[in-house]
Amino acid sequence: MRRMLFIYIAVIVTLLAGCSSVDYYLQSIEGQVRLLWARQAIADMIADPATPPPLKARLERVLAIREFASRELQLPDNPSYRSYADLQRPFVVWNVFAAAEFSVEPRKWCFLIVGCVNYRGYFAQAEAEAYARGLRSEGLDVFVSGVPAYSTLGWFDDPVLNAFVNYPEHALSRLIFHELAHQVVYVKGDTEFNESFATAVETEGVRRWIARHGTDKMRAEFDLSQQRRMQFRELAYRYRERLADLYRLPIAREEMRVRRAQAFSGMQRDYELLKSQWGGFAGYDRFFDHPNNAHLASVAIYTGLVPQFQQLIAKHDGDLAAFYAEVKALAALDKAERAARLAAVVAPARREQAN
């Protein structure tokens, strides 16, 4: 009944909204319904002789990861990620990020149920690109990014998708843990809080999964991927702060554009140096292909508060139930107080490191 009510409310809102909103909500509803119809129970697929052996073996591993998530990480024990859907495309949705020409702050969009978020998602790449072209015509910086998975926050039983089922095991488990974390805590209108919390949970979860069920090879692959992610974030954050400082200067727009272009060229050069240290690993190439403010804004959305959440996990000596309880208490606060409490979390840790 709750799921049907969700759809009925969405339809009503669609009918009451303006024409552009009607189109957007309709594609969202249609995309979600198609995804739900494509689901098959993983247990049934494993038992089916027609399931290709490589996929069957992969799905068996998925179920083991899923059981671990609830048993060892105290993540929700429900039907999510116990079904599979092949959508016949590389991503489930494409997110559109936008920022003003002289700002690294992301634009917000507000929606039914989830509240205000810093991106706008489309189930079809062509529709995402068309919307992005409209934003560019308004003078905004835009970034369109394919997304392999998303969470419906427990409203529906989210499936494992072809978009990520063949990821390396550490990446597959990371994604499942991340999306389930959104079912534990979600705050309307605070994307950075939500995504950083889920990222902290995924990292802790993968480390525990590898310690219990992994191999030395898997651990090395995960450590390498974490190192690259950290170096990527550090590069993006460094230039995000550099550009934020630039945009605050009282200089002419023409001069601002020249300095902005120089900053982005510098970031691309620094990335090439970093890439050479990685032995040519090209996983972040698309991000640095013609980067703009929207690219930098998208990074902060997902990882800006991760250190604070990791400190909270350490504070509770790895007791995830206690950690979740404190995060839920933070989620009940208004955004300003929540930010202040999180900022205070890292201060003692920095003092200890200094000593």
Q: In terms of DSSP H, where are the helices of 84-124?
A: none
Tokens 């119809």, residue? 37
pLDDT of residue 13: 44
- Residue 157 predicted with pLDDT over 90: yes
Which of 114, 110, 131, 133 is closest to 122 using CA atoms? 131
Tokens 């048993």, residue? 71
Q: Specify the 3-state DSSP secondary structure of 87.
A: coil
- Residue 16 predicted with pLDDT over 70: no
Question: For the chain, how are helix, strand and coil distributed in percent, rounded to 5?
Answer: 65, 10, 30
Enter the tokens of residue 110.
């507000």
pLDDT mean over 114-143: 93
Which residues lie closer than 8 Å to 49 by C-beta, 6 or more apart? none
Whether 46 and 59 have beta carbons less than 8 Å apart is answered as yes
- pLDDT per position as a tens digit, 207-253: 999 999 999 999 999 999 999 999 999 999 999 999 999 999 999 99
- Residue 350 predicted with pLDDT over 80: no
% of the chain exceeding 70 in pLDDT: 91
- Residue 7 predicted with pLDDT over 60: no
pLDDT mean over 25-52: 94
pLDDT of residue 134: 97
- pLDDT per position as a tens digit, 60-117: 999 999 999 999 999 999 999 999 999 999 999 999 999 999 999 999 888 766 678 8
- Residue 334 predicted with pLDDT over 70: yes
Q: Specify the 3-state DSSP secondary structure of 250.
A: coil
Average pLDDT, the chain: 90
Which of 148, 30, 53 is closest to 95 using CA atoms? 148
pLDDT of residue 115: 74
Radius of gyration of the chain (CA): 21
- pLDDT per position as a tens digit, 182-213: 999 999 888 889 999 999 999 999 999 999 99
- pLDDT per position as a tens digit, 116-128: 888 899 999 999 9
Burial track 308-322 (b if 16+ CB lie within 10 A, e otherwise): bbbbbbeeeeeebee
Question: How many other CB atoms sit within 10 Å of the CB of residue 61?
Answer: 14
CA distance 182 to 273: 35
Reported as type and span, the H/E element at residue 222 is helix 216-247
**What value, to the nearest 5°, has the Cα angle with vertex 196 and ends 193 and 197?**
80
- pLDDT per position as a tens digit, 249-263: 999 999 999 999 999
Report the chain's terminal Cα–Cα distance, integer Å: 56
- Residue 348 predicted with pLDDT over 90: no
pLDDT of residue 8: 45
Which of 233, 244, 235 is closest to 303 using CA atoms? 233
pLDDT of residue 86: 97
Q: Which of 42-56, 130-144, 333-347 is least confident?
A: 333-347
Distance of CA 171 to the CA centre of its chain: 13
Higher pLDDT, 191 or 164: 164
Whether 78 and 267 have beta carbons less than 8 Å apart is answered as no
% of the chain exceeding 90 in pLDDT: 78
pLDDT of residue 24: 85
Distance of CA 59 to the CA centre of its chain: 23
Phi, psi of 70 (to 5 degrees): -80, -40
Counts for the chain of helices (H) and strands (E), in that order = 13, 8
- Residue 353 predicted with pLDDT over 70: no
